[in-house]
Amino acid sequence: MSREHEAEGPRGPAAVAATALMRTRRALTASLADRVAAAVLVASTVGYALVYAVAVRDLGVASRATVASGDGLGSVTVVEAPLRRALSGEGVALVALGPVEYLFVPATLAVAVGIGLLVGANLALSALAWRQPAVCDISPASGLAAGLPALLSGTACCGPLVFIVLGLQATSAALTAIAWLRPAAVLLLVASLLWAGWRLDVQSSASSGKMLSGM
Amino acid sequence: MSQGPTRRRLLGSIGLAGAAAVAGCLDGLPGREVVPAGTADASGPPSRDGALHQPWPRERLREETVGGGPDKDGIPSVDEPSFASPGEVTLADDEVVFGYAGETDVKAYTQRVLVWHEITNDSLDGTPVAVTYCPLTGTAMGFERGDTTLGVSGKLVNNNLVMYDRATDSRWPQVLATAVDGPREGDQLREFGLTWTTWGRWREAHPDTEVLTEDTGYAKRYGSDPYGNYNPTSGYYGGGGPLFPPLDEGWAETLDEPKRVVIGTRTADRAVAFDKPALRERRLLETAGSGSNDDGGGDDEADGGNGDADAFLAAYDPGLDTGWVYRSRGASVEPDDDSEGLFAVEGETYRAGDLPLERAYAFDAMWHAWGGFYPETAYVA
């Protein structure tokens, strides 16, 4: 779709969706070309993955006994048949570095990085808009907020961590809600990203028409 | 359905030196028949001889069963446990362990490992067993398993672990020790006692003990308990209500402290709970029927009707910080005024764990769990 076509405005839901996707893709391409926005994308993704790992308790401080029994500063313990374990969603390695330990669960890490990329992309578009304050105005709040539900989705051995931490009773409705937190976060992040991409392109087009296409 | 090989491969330096498990002994668990190899595989674990009190209709229990989050075997049982001697491990003295002292085997199962697995399929004194722990009800119980193994179904009833046997896939809530679903429905498991204590106390009482290591075949953050901590108790263990709705909430009228620890025992037709903090303080607690301080939470008619036959006492053991439960049968038992942990029975002095009375199987449990499963329980404090 050319810019001339867009100027006429999309007609129908499918056309709107296609236009939103195209604008978002163009906005993301522009963010990758912008050093600050790209740095925000990477930092946000890594930061979110770390917070997620802490939230689901894959990353944390080792217990006294674990620290005391360790030899040297760091260690890596890998299970047998790691590929099979990875495919079944199990942890495959425990990495200890001083008092910190990380349980490497490929499935969890994939989810964390996936959602982290969406959060990062949202923030990168906000950064891009911030770099052109006269042209665009996109708050990073929606992208950050949309990433929060997934942080509450962790489960312990016998129930959702958030209920254990808050001391709440888990009803069947609450358990169902917990199961939908991660899909909900993804949907919210995608919607937020599309909205940001749309807005960025619309505002830039209305102002100078050069903001994205010129980058 | 059984787990594959689970030994870890070490790439870097690791803390715990792995020690080979020692099992394979000649004698069975005290008071239990040894199950010959190959006789229980198709039918699941062996059944207990006498009936055990089970107040709830099984249909109701099935209706009240909920998913806890993880799928079947999502909490993996330890099927190839390894053990080490006390000198080979670094464990804090206040780490909670579940101890077994048999004729040939003396072992401690650490809570820090079992909180991530809930079941360890092992062998004790030559008998295949499952050592089980449910963090939400604070219950550690041992069961004979025959030639099959027990696994974690991912389901809970009254907040309690629902186990399944890998021979018939029948479902066994831990505290009830009764199959509520599947081909073995209605059957009950053979139990054996574990002592809930701390590593320092257990090691002092049993210097020859072995202890379950973290070499389970799984990568887990052992020592990072998602529910809280013991010693001092905090998080889920320290207070608040149960995580899932209980079967019954009548217990709150007797004592509105869901996480308070009781030492529970049950016979064919009744259940008794001894308040553990009260036992620590008073050293001896007795039910109605033999000069009691039964708090009235129980069924008075049942107490009176059964008389001494169903009268129990609990004697506090300060060395292990546990209580031993006996059928009192009218015996005169008094704490020794001069020595803590000793009791005078008919003029003779005995340690709390060695009273010349019939020992009753008992285990620690959170009050909400015990009261939920046994609404008519006697509560003794």
Cβ-defined contact of A90 to B217 (cutoff 8 Å): no
- Strand partners for B233: none
Q: Are residues A128 and A183 both part of a single domain?
A: yes
Report how far residue B189's alpha carbon sits from residue A125's, in angstroms, rounded to the nearest whole number. 61
* Residue A163 sits at the chain B interface (C-beta within 8 Å): yes
Instruction: Average the pLDDT over B317-343 and give the result.
Output: 91
CB nearest to B70's CB, from A62, A93, A155? A155
- Look at residue A35 and tell me whether its pLDDT is greater than 90: yes
Across A35-44, A104-113, A159-168, A190-199, least confident range: A159-168
At B302 the pLDDT is 38
Of all residues in chain A, what percent carry a pLDDT higher than 70? 77
Q: Are residues A84 and A151 both part of a single domain?
A: no
* Residue A76 sits at the chain B interface (C-beta within 8 Å): yes
Please name the helix (run of DSSP H) or strand (run of DSSP E) that holds residue B208, with its range, or none: none
Q: Tell which wins on pLDDT, B66 or B41.
A: B66
Cβ-defined contact of A77 to B10 (cutoff 8 Å): yes
pLDDT bin (cut points 50, 70, 90) of residue A157 is: low
Report how far residue A31's alpha carbon sits from residue A123's, in angstroms, rounded to the nearest whole number. 10
- Strand partners for B343: B335, B350
Q: Tell which wins on pLDDT, B154 or B299.
A: B154
ipTM here: 0.76
Beta strands across the sheet bearing A93-97: A59-61, A100-104, A93-97, A74-78, B9-10
Q: What's the domain range around A99?
A: 59-104
CB nearest to B14's CB, from A65, A75, A103? A75
- Look at residue B289 and tell me whether its pLDDT is greater than 50: yes
The string of DSSP letters for A102-155 reads: EEE-HHHHHHHHHHHHHHHHHHHHHHHHHHSTTT----SHHHHHHHHHHHT--B
Q: Are residues A92 and A122 both part of a single domain?
A: no
At A128 the pLDDT is 85
Q: Are residues A86 and A149 both part of a single domain?
A: no
Name the CA dihedral angle for B240, A185, A59, B67, rounded to a multiple of 10 degrees.
50
Instruction: Average the pLDDT over B265-285 and give the result.
Output: 95
Instruction: Average the pLDDT over B143-167 and give the result.
Output: 97
Cβ-defined contact of B223 to A170 (cutoff 8 Å): no
Name the one residue in this structure whose structure tokens are 């001896």: B284
Q: Are residues A24 and A121 both part of a single domain?
A: yes
Q: Are residues A115 and A98 both part of a single domain?
A: no
Cβ-defined contact of A64 to B11 (cutoff 8 Å): no
Cβ-defined contact of B219 to A90 (cutoff 8 Å): yes
Considering A60-69, A100-109, B26-35, B287-296, the range whose residues carry the highest mean pLDDT is A100-109
Q: Are residues A8 and A80 both part of a single domain?
A: no
Q: Which of B221, B244, B366 to mutate to test the interface with A (most CBs of A within 10 A)?
A: B221
In a domain, A215, yes or no: no
Number of domains in chain A: 2
**Considering only CB atoms, which chain A residues are within 8 Å of B223?**
62-66
Q: Are residues A46 and A75 both part of a single domain?
A: no
- Look at residue A143 and tell me whether its pLDDT is greater than 80: no
* Residue A174 sits at the chain B interface (C-beta within 8 Å): no
- Look at residue B78 and tell me whether its pLDDT is greater than 70: yes
Name the one residue in this structure whose structure tokens are 């930092």: A43
- Look at residue A2 and tell me whether its pLDDT is greater than 50: no
- Look at residue B48 and tell me whether its pLDDT is greater than 50: yes
Chain segment A75-126, per-residue pLDDT in tens: 899 999 999 999 988 999 999 998 999 999 999 999 999 999 999 999 998 8
Report how far residue B240's alpha carbon sits from residue B228's, in angstroms, rounded to the nearest whole number. 12
**Considering only CB atoms, which chain A residues are within 8 Å of B155?**
none
At A70 the pLDDT is 59
At A65 the pLDDT is 66
Average pLDDT in chain B: 86
- Look at residue A66 and tell me whether its pLDDT is greater than 90: no
- The upper half-sphere exposure of residue A38, i.e. CA atoms within 13 Å in the direction of its Cβ, equals 6
* Residue A169 sits at the chain B interface (C-beta within 8 Å): yes
- Look at residue A207 and tell me whether its pLDDT is greater than 80: no
In a domain, A212, yes or no: no
In a domain, A213, yes or no: no
Across B4-8, B22-26, B304-308, least confident range: B22-26
| Beta carbons within 8 Å of A203's beta carbon, 6+ residues apart | A135, A136, A137, A211
Cβ-defined contact of A172 to B66 (cutoff 8 Å): yes
Q: Are residues A94 and A34 both part of a single domain?
A: no
* Cα–Cα nearest to B227, from B372, B112, B66, B92: B112
At B303 the pLDDT is 41
CA angle, B77 as apex, A67 and B159 as ends, to 5°? Answer: 95
Q: Are residues A93 and A127 both part of a single domain?
A: no
Residue where a domain terminates, one of A104, A139, A172 = A104
* Residue A84 sits at the chain B interface (C-beta within 8 Å): yes
In a domain, A79, yes or no: yes
**How distant, in Å, are the alpha carbons of A105, B149, B178, B242, B264 from that of A158?**
18, 20, 20, 12, 23
Q: Which amino acid is at B161?
A: L
As a 3-state breakdown, chain A gives helix, strand, coil percent values, each rounded to 5, of: 65, 10, 25
**Considering only CB atoms, which chain A residues are within 8 Å of B70?**
155, 157-158
Please, what is the angle between helix A13-33 and helix A106-131, to 10°? Answer: 80
Of all residues in chain B, what percent carry a pLDDT higher than 70? 83
Q: Are residues A82 and A117 both part of a single domain?
A: no
Name the one residue in this structure whose structure tokens are 């099959």: B148
* Cα–Cα nearest to B135, from B50, B17, B238: B238
Beta strands across the sheet bearing B358-359: B284-286, B312-317, B322-327, B358-359
Instruction: Average the pLDDT over B115-123 and give the result.
Output: 97
The shortest C-alpha distance from A59 to chain B (Å) reads 9
**How distant, in Å, are the alpha carbons of B65, B117, B135, B166, B287 from that of B149?**
22, 14, 20, 6, 37
Residue where a domain terminates, one of A41, A74, A104 = A104
Chain segment B211-245, per-residue pLDDT in tens: 999 999 999 999 899 899 998 899 999 989 999 99
Q: Are residues A187 and A120 both part of a single domain?
A: yes
Instruction: Average the pLDDT over B279-287 and give the result.
Output: 95
- Look at residue A196 and tell me whether its pLDDT is greater than 60: yes
pLDDT bin (cut points 50, 70, 90) of residue A168 is: confident
